[in-house]
Amino acid sequence: MVRRLLLCCIMLALLSPLCLCWAEGVGKTCGEEDARVLILINSACSNTNRRAAIRQTWLSGVSELRPNVVVRFIVGQGCEDSEDVQDGEEGETLMVPIRDEYRNNILKLLHALKHFHAAVTHGLESFDYVLKADDDSFVNVSELMNLLSSSPRNSHYRGLFFTGKPFRDPSHKNFVSPRCLPLPVLPPFAYGGGFIMSWDLVDYIVRNQILLENGLIRDKDGDLCCDLDDLQVGIWMFALGVVPFHEDRFNGLLNCHSESVILYDVPDYLMREVHEEKNNDGGSSRGVCNDVVHRYVLESPRPEYKAVGLMRLILLRRWEFALDRANLESSSSHNAHILLPLISTCISSSGTGPTCDYLVDIVDVSIRKLTEKIQTPRIEDDIRDEVFGHISV
């Protein structure tokens, strides 16, 4: 009897830490520490308004997550006179000895990684991941930490991935000259608005920085000829054999959804409106894509938004917004005009029924077919006609 009682006491002593860990619901192995994340936000000297918007919105709550989250803006030379280049507790600016030009983004990132790698080497910091973002990205940091709590901490390269043919049109923002990169197909790479690397990959990049810098995409004169820092990182990861982790919760404004954790290409005024809307709902929504974003896409003059905005609203079953969009389109498009009664039917039936399901299904097919085509400039009417060509009434 005494032996059994002693055995029970020993078992309870062994299991109690496991029970405590399970009760905390942290989503990680018991005894494993919370992930520590370094967020590096690429910026430029002139982007004072963008940095201010980030400090006033999603960065304002990061103090609650310290010391597990460290955030720094990366700027180049010439920012000494910028009013916001300061040593603030949140959003301190790291100035690197690189000319502040778009084409030097990869060099700015390398210098920033080297800076923090030295801090880790000397025991001043410790990180599990790096999130590289831009100063027009909106990040839900608490949800990002939840996402990473159960993620691999080695050989982890995560983001919204793109692969396909390089853009050869010199007028395109993401133009890649065939002289610099003759490959007909690009390796998978995560969009630079927000991608994650585990620290072991950062360690490799920094330790081999000289070798990697010599391998940067350059022209025959030795000058950098590829402005895409995200593509360059993707090439390195591909060469290392790192399996990319596609994350569909990192999104652009056009294809965001209720579970989005990072939004790309967010203007500073929209960033404040998204933050205010999120606060108004009491923090109940996990994602950062809300009605403010849908309204922006609805009203935006950008051709790609105008061409695909109505489809996206239908796919999300945002029928009131879709009705407004169809009304705007109807004057110039017969196909948009014939959608009006169908959308009205969905509104009157509270968004349910065969008509609504049919519209959602047909738009889902159309969006998949157009995903690659909207990456390059096209005539708006051509896209609209192709989309609505799939809809027969």
- Over the stretch 253-272, which tens digit does the pLDDT of each residue have? 877 888 899 999 999 999 99
Q: Please tell me the least confidently modeled range out of 77-86, 137-146, 373-382.
A: 373-382
Residue 139 pLDDT grade (very low, low, confident, very high; cuts 50, 70, 90)? very high
pLDDT category at 34 given cuts 50, 70, 90 is confident
Tell me the mean pLDDT in the region 74-93: 67
Average confidence score pLDDT of the chain: 76
| Backbone φ, ψ for residue 269 (5° rounding) | -70, -35
Tell me whether residue 274 is in a domain. no
Q: How many CB atoms within 10 Å of residue 290?
A: 19
CATH code, domain carrying 176: 3.90.550
pLDDT at 15: 41
- Asked if residue 13 belongs to a domain, the reply is no
* Highest mean pLDDT: which range of 73-82, 134-143, 367-376: 134-143
pLDDT over 50 at 294, yes or no: yes
| 186 pLDDT more than 90 | no
Question: Are 125 and 133 a contacting pair, CB within 8 Å?
Answer: no
Please tell me whether the overall predicted TM-score, pTM, comes out greater than 0.85 for this model.
no
Owning domain of residue 328: 300-393
Residue 275 lies in a domain: no
Residue 147 located in a structural domain: yes
Q: What is the mean pLDDT of residues 48-75?
A: 90
Kindly indicate the confidence band of residue 225, based on its pLDDT and cuts at 50, 70 and 90.
Answer: low
Question: Residue 20: what residue type?
Answer: L
- CB contact at 8 A, 201 and 127: no
Yes or no: say if 164 and 186 are a contact pair by the CB < 8 Å rule.
yes
Tally of domains within the chain: 2
User: Do residues 162 and 251 lie in contact, with contact meaning Cβ atoms separated by under 8 Å?
Assistant: no
- Residue 18 lies inside a defined structural domain of this protein: no
For residues 218 and 323, state if they share a domain.
no
Using alpha carbons, select from 326, 309, 290, 314 the residue that is nearest to residue 362.
314
Phi and psi for 171 in degrees, rounded to 5? Answer: -85, -10
The answer to whether residues 304 and 235 belong to one domain is: no
- Angle at CA of residue 234, ends 158 and 37, nearest 5°: 40
Query: Looking at the domain assignment, is residue 312 inside a domain?
Result: yes
Would residue 160 count as lying in a domain?
Answer: yes
**pLDDT computed for residue 183 by the predictor:** 80
Of 9-13, 99-103, 113-117, 201-205, the range with the lowest mean pLDDT is: 9-13
- Of 227, 85, 244, nearest in space to 160 by CA: 244
Token pair belonging to 164 = 């396909």
59 and 195 in one domain? Answer: yes
* pLDDT for the residue 43: 93
CA–CA gap between residue 13 and residue 390 (Å, rounded) = 65
* pLDDT over 70, % of the chain: 66
242 and 319 together in one domain: no
pLDDT tens for each residue of 228-258: 789 889 988 988 899 999 998 998 887 788 8
